[in-house]
Amino acid sequence: MAATCEIPNGTRPRIEVRDLEMVYGARIIQRNLNLAVQAGDIFVIMGPSGSGKSTLLRHMIGLVPPARGDVFYDGASFWTADTNDRQRMLRRVGVLYQDGALWSSMTLAENVRLPLEQFTDLPPASIRGIASLKLALVGLAGFEDLYPSEVSGGMRKRAGLARAMALDPDILFFDEPSSGLDPINSRALDDLIVELRDSLGATVVMVTHELASIFAIATNSVFLDEKAKTITAAGPPWKLLHECRNSKVGRFLTRGEKT
Amino acid sequence: MDDEGEVRKRAHVTVDRADDGLLRLRLSGRWTLDARPSIVADVFEHALTTADTRVAVETDPQLEWDSGLLLFMRTVLAEAERRQMTVDLAGLPGGARRLLALASATPEYKEPHPEGAAPSLLTRIGSRTIAATRSGADVLAFIGEACVGLLRLLTGRARFQRSELLRVAQEVGAQALPIVSLITFLVGVILAYVGAMQLRAFGAQAYVADLVSVAMTREMGAMMTAIVMAGRTGAAFAAELGTMRVNEEIDALTTFGVSPMEFLVLPRMVALAVMMPFLCLYADLLGFLGGAAVGVGLLHLGGLEYYQRSVQAIALDDFAAGLIKASVFGVLLSIAGCLRGLRSGRSSGAVGAATTSAVVTGIVLIIVSDAVLTVLFDVVHF
């Protein structure tokens, strides 16, 4: 089924999902998923709970192969590539997991340093410098030697972002970035995401159902419908709000007020 | 690397000094991490003189940059601050300028340092002693709580999960049979073999049967089973409860007013205390078979003769001694495993440490209590 609301944009996509099908066991969750993320986008994958948003993200970042279909980075197929090529594509990608997913037995600085030590041959002094720079960027200067269990949830999330940025990725994925954050911190994280996109020229893909942040920063979005089992709306969220005739999308974007 | 063929552009900086104390840095080329701009930072530090009071940074429009440029600029900013120089960043690319502003937007967090120098030897001995006493008291409190829980269970007032008990009983009982079989059969073989070598000197090989059966029933059956269970089950208890603590499942129980002691520890303790004697009995039998294999196979004793000697050698109280020990070991093992698990820290490393500690504590408790019980049984002629 084609999306009932389709607002086209742009040219050559940085990330593309084609004819993707997701299953849990024998149950089909989503089918015929097609979407394109342009360079510089802040792209939001939204939809009700259980519609498979996070699973779609896991397919896109190479954690789980989809039942059918493929993901393309700059036109190159991810799931048909060999392991080395996949590794190379993933090196350009940073991921912020839902609760930060920091390695609990390492300090915040060690968390940021690990990818640098694994994937670069930089001298230890530079690696230390980069780790403290990235932590300073997310407002955690001076917290280098604390363990994840010694800082708050919001700080863990920001440290997770510092780790995701360790290798200067040009694509950043966020799984529910504002969950568990207070409104001020959630807003600050939104601003940080926009700032990183603008200054580093990164492309951002977010899974979220936080309306405030969707309207504040998203430049493009898709809506996954758990009943129709596919994308039923695609386009910038504020346009969808005014132009989309699909009542489910309308209700979602107005917290159930518009029927 | 992937750009081997082309001439790699390097990070390049030229330093101009104006008369009025203005140091002008002109950056060009490639300021990315793989071009190692951090090396250039040293050049900057050496170029500085006391006459310089201001630094201005200018960049080539074609400049390529990533975190490498930011790293260099942070060095420049730190050095300038140390020398109380002002830095003009207007010449930097807009993105880099904004990121530098962002990185310095939040002031550095300084952890409050404890007063004074490192604690003296006496202070350290003192605080270690207090910590050791506290952890001893903690263990006692845990055992006390467990006893209260057991009493509540016996009087039928504990919130006890029968399904959990059955699950744990199956895990620590039936599923442990293969490893217990292997270990105790081989222990029987070893005992018989070592015994035979000594007894042969006196022509008394036939007494191997007595040796193996007495040793297995009174000591080795219970002991070997307990050591296997310390590694297998004590570790599993600690890891399971430790992970529950990391996931805040134990906090969730407590807030619902359910005592983790009754809900989690009691089923494990009862299951081990009940299943250990059965495992021990089974271990006795397997050890006996191991001894018989050596006796019949290598020493050419008759199968029936071996059996009769064994039966004559042991009495019911030998079995009872072994079974009592097994039950005690079961209780101690579950206490060690559950205590370490429940007191685990909240990180993956802490769960690993709790598991190790559970096995070590378990084995120490087994050996110490075995020594105590053996002496005690001897005193009361049991």
Chain A residue at shortest CA distance from B350: A105
Neighbours of A242 (CB within 10 A): 8
Q: What is the pLDDT of residue B69?
A: 87
Does residue A57 share a domain with residue A72? yes
- Nearest chain A CA: its distance from B303 CA (Å): 57
Q: Which of A45, A33, A49 is nearest to A1 (CA)?
A: A33
What pairs with residue A233 in β-bridges?
A5, A223
Query: Which CATH number is associated with domain B11-101?
Result: 3.30.750.24
Does residue A175 share a domain with residue A162? no
Domain ranges of chain B: 11-101, 149-379
- The domain that contains A71 carries what CATH number? 3.40.50.300
In a domain, A1, yes or no: no
| Residue A132 clears pLDDT 50, i.e. is over it | yes
SS (H, E, C) B173-216: CHHHHHHHHHHHHHHHHHHHHHHHHHHHCCCCHHHHHHHHHHHH
Chain B residues whose beta carbon lies within 8 Å of the beta carbon of residue A199: 94-96, 98-99
- Taking CB atoms and an 8 Å limit, are A140 and B106 in contact across chains? yes
Does residue A236 share a domain with residue A259? yes
- Nearest chain B CA: its distance from A205 CA (Å): 20
> By CB neighbour count within 10 A (0-12 exposed, 13-18 middle, 19+ buried), where does B23 fall?
buried
| Residue A189 clears pLDDT 70, i.e. is over it | yes
Q: Is B33 on the interface with A (CB under 8 A)?
A: yes
Collect the ranges in chain B with pLDDT lower than 50: 1-7
Instruction: State how far the Cα of A69 lies from the Cα of A74, in Å rounded to an integer.
Output: 16
Buried b (16+ CB within 10 A) or exposed e, A76-92: eebeebeeeebeebbeb
In a domain, A208, yes or no: no
Task: Give the phi and the psi of residue A203 in degrees, each rounded to 5.
Answer: -110, 135
Does residue A87 share a domain with residue A72? yes
In a domain, A126, yes or no: yes
Chain B residues whose beta carbon lies within 8 Å of the beta carbon of residue A146: 111
Q: What is the pLDDT of residues B301-329, one digit of tens each?
A: 888 999 999 999 999 989 999 999 999 99
Does residue A22 share a domain with residue A52? yes
In a domain, A139, yes or no: yes
Give the rounded percent of residues in chain A with a pLDDT score beyond 70. Answer: 95
Does residue A185 share a domain with residue A164? no
Which residues fall within 8 angstroms of residue A245, CB to CB, at 6 or more apart?
Answer: A4, A5
Q: What is the pLDDT of residue B5?
A: 41
Domain count across chain A: 2
In a domain, A28, yes or no: yes
Q: What is the pLDDT of residue A2?
A: 47
Range of the domain at A43: 6-92+171-202+215-259
Q: What is the pTM assigned to this prediction?
A: 0.71
Instruction: State how far the Cα of A175 lies from the Cα of A183, in Å rounded to an integer.
Output: 17
In a domain, A143, yes or no: yes
Q: Residues of A at the B interface (Cβ-Cβ below 8 Å)?
A: 103-105, 120, 122-123, 125-126, 129-130, 133-134, 136-137, 139-143, 146-149, 168, 192, 195, 198-201
Does residue A175 share a domain with residue A165? no
Spell out the alpha helix ranges (H) of B53-176: 67-82, 94-103, 121-154, 162-172
Top residue of B32, B40, B70, B110 to mutate, by most chain A CBs within 10 Å, is B70
| Residue A232 clears pLDDT 70, i.e. is over it | yes
Does residue A183 share a domain with residue A69? yes
The overall average pLDDT reported for chain A is 87
In a domain, A21, yes or no: yes
Q: What is the pLDDT of residue B4?
A: 43
Are A90 and A78 contacting, i.e. CB atoms less than 8 angstroms apart?
no
Does residue A246 share a domain with residue A175? yes
Q: What is the pLDDT of residues B168-183, one digit of tens each?
A: 999 999 999 999 999 9
Does residue A150 share a domain with residue A55? no
Which residues fall within 8 angstroms of residue B251, CB to CB, at 6 or more apart?
Answer: B245
Does residue A49 share a domain with residue A176? yes
Does residue A257 share a domain with residue A130? no
In a domain, A99, yes or no: no
